[in-house]
Amino acid sequence: MIAVVLDTNIVVSALIAPIGNEAVVLSLALQGRLAVCFSPAILAEYQEVLSRPRLKLRPTEIEAALASIRGVGRMVYPFETLDISSDEPDNRIYECAAAAHADYIVTGNANISPRLTRTL
pLDDT of residue 112: 57
For residues 27 and 14, what is the distance between their CA atoms, to the nearest angstrom?
Answer: 9
pLDDT classification of 118: cutoffs 50, 70, 90: very low
Q: What proportion of the chain, given as a percentage, has pLDDT over 70? A: 90
The CA dihedral of 66, 68, 94, 85, to the nearest 10 degrees, is -40
Q: What is the CATH number of domain 3-119?
A: 3.40.50.1010
pLDDT digits (tens, 9 = 90+) for 60-81: 999 999 999 999 999 999 988 8
Predicted structure pTM score: 0.86
CA angle 64–88–17, rounded 5-degree value:
35
For residues 52 and 26, what is the distance between their CA atoms, to the nearest angstrom?
Answer: 20
**Three-state SS at 82:** coil
**Three-state SS at 38:** strand
Name residue 67's amino acid.
Answer: A
pLDDT digits (tens, 9 = 90+) for 105-117: 998 876 655 555 4
